[in-house]
Amino acid sequence: MEVTMTVNGAKVSKDVEPRTLLVHFVRDNLGLTGTNVGCDTSSCGACTVHVNGESVKSCTMLAVQADGQEITTIEGMAQANGEMHPMQKAFQENHGLQCGYCTPGMVMAATSLLKENPHPTEQEVRNGLEGNLCRCTGYHNIVKAVLAAADGMAEV
Amino acid sequence: MTVTDSQTSHGILGTRTLRKEDPKLLSGEAKFTDDLVIPGALYMALLRSTVAHAKIVSIDTEAAKEAPGVVAVYTYEDLKDDWAGPMPCAWPVTPDMKNPTHFPLANGKVNYVGDGVAVVLANSKEAAIDALELINVEYDELDPVLEIEDSAKDERVIHEDLGTNASYKWDLIPNKDGVDEAFAKAAYTVSERYIQQRIVPAAMEPRSIVVVPAPFGGDFTIYNTTQIPHILKIMLALTVGISETKLRVIAPSVGGGFGSKLDVYAEDVLTLALARKLRKPIRWTEERTENALATIHGRGQVQYIELAADENGKVTAVRVNILADMGAYLQLITPGIPLLGAFLYHGVYDVPNYSFSCTGYFTNKTPTDAYRGAGRPEATFAIERAMDALAHKMGVSPIELRRRNFIQKEQFPYSSAAGLVFDSGDYETNLDKAVGLFGIEDILAEKQRRIDSGSTKLLGIGISFFVEMCGLAPSRVLASLNYGAGGWEAATVRILPTSKVQVVTGSAPHGQGHETAWAMIVADRLGIDINDIEVLHSDTAIAPHGLDTYGSRSLSVGGSAVHMATEKVLEKARSIAAHQLEVSEADLDYANGMFTVKGSPDKAFPLAGAAFEAFTAHNLPDGMEPNLEASVTWDPPNFTFPYGSHLALVEVDTETGKVDLLRYLAVDDCGNRVNPLIIEGQVHGGLAQGIAQALFEEAAYDDRGNLITSTLADYLVPSAAEFPFFELDHTVTPSPTNPLGVKGIGEAGAIASPPAIINAVVDALNHLGIEDVEMPASPQRVWRAINAAKKG
Amino acid sequence: MFPSSFDYVRASSVSEAISILNNEEDAKLIAGGHSLLPLMKLRLANPSKLVDIGRIGDLSYIADRGDHVAIGALTRHAAIESSDVVKASVPMLAYVASLVGDPSVRHRGTLGGSVSHGDGASDLPAAILALDATLVVTSASGVREVAAKDFFKGFLETDLNQGEVLTEIKVPKATGGWSYQKFNRRAQDWAIVGVAAVRNGSTKISLVNMASMPIRAEAVESALSGGASIEEAAALASEGIEPPSDLNASADYRRHLASVLVRRALVEASSN
């Protein structure tokens, strides 16, 4: 069936099977492969995108459920001039990524978190990222990056 | 060439340089294997055994073959002529090692849940996976052999043609009489049994492969999320029966490995064999459940360790016996994993008498193989837990007992009783630093206060002092262990006509940051900007020689090769510059991209000019070959021996058994530090995995051999919410083994942390009479230990 | 993974959803999808048709109705967690909502979906059970109300019949003492054991993951009303209950945890 949604600011329409998951839709139908798949059980968060500005695990949402919605993927985070989003910058500056596989989902979850809680404590950041698993960093530098981004974005 | 001042480039070693890799990973631009768009590819799916041990009575694939979108369905019988040999094991640890012949698909019998039974090829991944449900397999179930100690009894033999479940027995007993005598004379002995549970490596990126046949010529390009593109190419050539010249292996962005992508899997062989058979691109990406079932597991040992000590607690002998779980089959280096720890069960202690034995046993479980640390976490756990047991028995503090036994800094290079030569170390200084930073006295007071007040939240401090042998490895030493390859690494440094620099490395990163670190090594020596340096890797057509990334080897072996190639290319440039300036080479100084004549600094010739001269070859010294490039293949003379003190503070809820990690301090010594940012990241990640082994993770099976932790909902990879910030510090004892003086840091955290955590848990509960808690120290397990202690 | 094939229809009203359910025995409702889709991806559930009620706008609301708070079935966990009305009138419910899954899950999961699924290991069904909520069920024949304690029937089994839709949850205001004790190993996980305690006149206790469905700790409640001390009552936490055994907890450990957590819950509920 036909679905139409706005992805990273552009309207797209595609014909999909009802069982197509949002993550497969953005990866396979739109070629936006920055969003990754890491598990089958909504546990790892590698597939996190924004739906209407809020973090969602795109492996646990059907593309047809996203019909008519605003989707943002990691490819849509940089500013129009190509400059990285402050959260992306904070991840680089704090070495908040190693292999980079969880990173897009982590950045999407972290930006959603700061939208709801602009000045989180360390523990609030940790709890806010509880649904995003990383096997490389031990989270130390991810948490630092999110706290730094919160400081930086507050200054703007 | 951008000639930059020393502020930004020369002297870059040791700085917290941000990673070159990050922008494309952060933007989603990086391509992992499953991201590749390959027109016309067929999707592969595997039907896997749902039983642990059974004879296959029949496989009915007819309905699947008729399903929409399905191109082919194959079983073992259909493909038995499509490969040249069985699945490879490259480490026959003993001449009489028993290695069950096995193929990518089961031949009449399945030996673990997850064993491949049939393969479907279809036009879409949906069609391929849907068709799996249409295949009917009839099994004649056999009782599974699940526990190592049951396997050892040989009451049921898994591979009947082998006649036994034991794959091999390997001994390192240089001085049996000395060991026996030490135990006979000992004032104290301890005899401990520890369990290393099975661990699912759980790299966040599942395994993924695309094999693309060239349109003509019979060549294949293999995109594979592997740690070992070079080794994989060789093994695939031999196993599938295709000339190595026809294979090109590319590892795109690789989303973590931790040893699990250091292997040759059934799917690697199948995708290549089927691409040859059908002359079409074949692709496959693992589901998370398949990752838990059919990618290797780590650890899996029963460990017996005994210490003999004199009246002062000086350890005089260590005697170790290991029962190692091979799983159903031997994978690439399965049998060798215990050997990587075999020399280190005396830890950082000066122990004159040493005895190690290991037997590998088959079970009806997923095969085991390398997982972060591979053999060394097991060794470190055993000795560091046993040292605490000895300290408790003697009534001395664990820290004091360790000090009494340290190898002293004057003893380096230290020849161990096990036969290694430890390169360098100053353990006492490192421990002093850690103890000072942790503030142990205050914690001990609070710990006692809680006990006295009857608190149900008890504190425990755990220490672990580790050493590892890494920088794998001197090729001759590997030969003595029967390992199927060498331990060298290759590098090429190439200065292009426009003065940009290409560095080609045989080391294949999967998150470690080689592009940054290697560029720093070159930038430092050449005095140029790291942004003018590109590091090429992980493609066997671009970097034809290499032995890849594992065993904390990349920097000490591969980085050293890069360093040496840089020196070599600089010498060639110096000859060109001397020729141009009409002076002798010895009269030239070099800094920041410029050769200058000693005493006449205005007489100068840039490295960029040398690069262009080498390209045009218009005016080179007589006999010099054009182009400015140098290659080095370096075989290290010894391992490197990083070490460090790790201290953990835990709080145990005695009512629920839950353990909370409050603080963790790691003071590591990895020799000279190239990029502290990357080093710290490696330590953090290793700590998280080791702490997870101690407290959270376990590949658990039911009594029929079903893995009951096959998803990330059941297999507890911890999240940010389960960790505190880690406290890190360091000492620096350069390694004399390599020109960079580096030691390696990738595995350190995972090696040191499990015993620190368990020692802390036991410390919290020791006054109740608890001497051990098995890993993972889950709430239930801790509660049971407390209950058992109460009942006395 | 991905689900088996199915048909999909988006309902624009409750009545439309009901009529589809009545015509198709194997059809299932989907709202946020966070209970159903994981089962479908693992192919443990294979409905022939999904009826998407997620866009029925008038089922997402939180309203102060004097003695109770009415929550539309499609209200998402995140909305409950951050609702000033819920925080003021049923603070425990806001707190429990904040512990479900993780933030991304809470952006999509709905109260009605969680309660209709009726998982004994879920937080919210147990919370509404302790809160003595009333569930409003709509069908072709009209609207009926079911007390939460009569709603949960067994393993993933509720009082809902095919053709019925849970449309509203009425939660009595509960501003007295309360506590929710969630015991798990990772923050994102289901409770190994959870305990909800609400002091609203009498004290109500419900248990998470102590049975195949959410249940009340009746022995504790009657002991307390009979004047037992917290310690005495907590010891009865698993009286008459046969808890499940799994990797994280055997039945005997669950019983023990239930007693500890009930005691902690009662202590906390008495002090706030």
Between chains, do C186 and B708 touch, taking CB under 8 Å as contact?
no
Long-range contacts of A64-67 (CB under 8 A, 24+ apart): A64/A1, A64/A3, A64/A16, A64/A18, A64/A20, A64/C8, A64/C10, A64/C52, A65/A22, A65/C30, A65/C33, A65/C52, A65/C54, A66/A3, A66/A5, A66/A22, A66/A25, A67/A3, A67/A4, A67/A5, A67/C10
Examine residue A66 and state whether it is found in any structural domain, yes or no: yes
Cβ-Cβ contacts under 8 Å for B350 (sequence gap 6 or more)? B405, B406, B407, B408, B411, B414
DSSP C161: P
Please tell me the distance in Å from A68's CA to the nearest CA on chain B: 24
Please tell me the distance in Å from C233's CA to the nearest CA on chain A: 33
The answer to whether the CB of B593 falls within 8 A of the CB of B3 is yes
Shared domain for A108 and A65, answered yes or no, is no
How far apart are alpha carbons B28 and A35 in whole angstroms? Answer: 7
Confidence band, pLDDT 50/70/90 cuts, at residue B588: very high
Shared domain for A134 and A105, answered yes or no, is yes
Cβ-Cβ contacts under 8 Å for B432 (sequence gap 6 or more)? none
- Which residue has tokens 């703007």? A156
pLDDT given for residue A66 in this prediction? 97
CA-CA-CA-CA torsion sign (C114, C120, C124, C130): positive
Q: Kindly state the percentage of chain B with pLDDT values over 90.
A: 97
Q: Could you state, in order of their start, the residue ranges of all structural domains in chain B?
A: 22-30+488-634, 33-142+206-254+261-294, 298-472+638-791
Q: Give me the residues of C, 14-43, that contact B with CB < 8 A.
A: 42-43
Segment B449-482, tens digit of pLDDT? 999 999 999 999 999 999 999 999 899 999 999 9
Examine residue A55 and state whether it is found in any structural domain, yes or no: yes
- The residue-averaged pLDDT of A16-26 equals 98
Of C2, C50, C103, the CB nearest to A112: C103
Segment C219-230, tens digit of pLDDT? 999 999 999 999
Of B271, B122, B116, the C-alpha closest to B209 is B271
Shared domain for A7 and A72, answered yes or no, is yes
**CB of B35 within 8 Å of any CB in chain A?**
yes
DSSP B657: -
Closest-CA residue of A relative to B712 is: A43
Shared domain for A92 and A70, answered yes or no, is no
Q: Write down the architecture of domain B22-30+488-634 according to CATH.
A: 2-Layer Sandwich (3.30)
Q: Please determine, for residue C150, whether its predicted confidence score (pLDDT) is greater than 90.
A: yes
The answer to whether the CB of B492 falls within 8 A of the CB of B631 is yes
The answer to whether the CB of C3 falls within 8 A of the CB of A19 is yes
Q: Please determine, for residue A153, whether its predicted confidence score (pLDDT) is greater than 80.
A: no
DSSP B685: H
Measured between beta carbons, the chain C residues lying within 8 angstroms of A127 are 187
Q: Please determine, for residue B410, whether its predicted confidence score (pLDDT) is greater than 80.
A: yes
CA distances from C264 to A134, C129, C179, C181, C267 (A): 33, 19, 8, 8, 5
Examine residue A59 and state whether it is found in any structural domain, yes or no: yes
Measured between beta carbons, the chain B residues lying within 8 angstroms of A142 are 720
Same CATH topology for B22-30+488-634 and B298-472+638-791: the answer is: yes
Beta bridge partners of B604: B596
Shared domain for A95 and A141, answered yes or no, is yes
Please tell me the distance in Å from B725's CA to the nearest CA on chain C: 17
Q: Give the DSSP H/E element, type plus range, for residue C194.
A: strand C193-200
Q: Which domain holds residue A106?
A: 86-151
Q: Please determine, for residue B4, whether its predicted confidence score (pLDDT) is greater than 70.
A: no
The enclosing domain of A133 has a CATH number of 1.10.150.120
What is the count of structural domains for chain A?
A: 2
Q: Is the pTM of this model over 0.90?
A: yes
Examine residue A156 and state whether it is found in any structural domain, yes or no: no
Neighbours of B480 (CB within 10 A): 10
Q: Please determine, for residue C143, whether its predicted confidence score (pLDDT) is greater than 80.
A: yes
How far apart are alpha carbons C234 and C228 in whole angstroms? Answer: 9
Shared domain for A71 and A116, answered yes or no, is no
How far apart are alpha carbons C120 and C214 in whole angstroms? Answer: 4
Between chains, do B723 and A138 touch, taking CB under 8 Å as contact?
yes
Q: Kindly state the percentage of chain B with pLDDT values over 70.
A: 99
Measured between beta carbons, the chain A residues lying within 8 angstroms of B511 are 98-100, 136
- The residue-averaged pLDDT of B210-232 equals 96
- The residue-averaged pLDDT of B307-331 equals 98
How far apart are alpha carbons B594 and B616 in whole angstroms? Answer: 19
Of the listed ranges B123-127, B788-792, C189-193, C196-200, the least confidently predicted one is B788-792
pLDDT given for residue C201 in this prediction? 85
Of C224, C199, C214, C190, the C-alpha closest to C129 is C214
Of the listed ranges B9-18, B136-145, C1-10, the least confidently predicted one is B9-18
Shared domain for A12 and A60, answered yes or no, is yes
Instruction: Output the average pLDDT for chain B.
Output: 96
pLDDT given for residue B10 in this prediction? 53
CATH code of the domain made up of B33-142+206-254+261-294: 3.90.1170.50
CATH fold of B298-472+638-791, please? Aldehyde Oxidoreductase; domain 4 (3.30.365)
Shared domain for A60 and A103, answered yes or no, is no
**CB of C248 within 8 Å of any CB in chain B?**
yes
The answer to whether the CB of B17 falls within 8 A of the CB of A11 is no
pLDDT given for residue B644 in this prediction? 98
**CB of A130 within 8 Å of any CB in chain B?**
yes
Of B31, B202, B684, the CB nearest to A141: B684
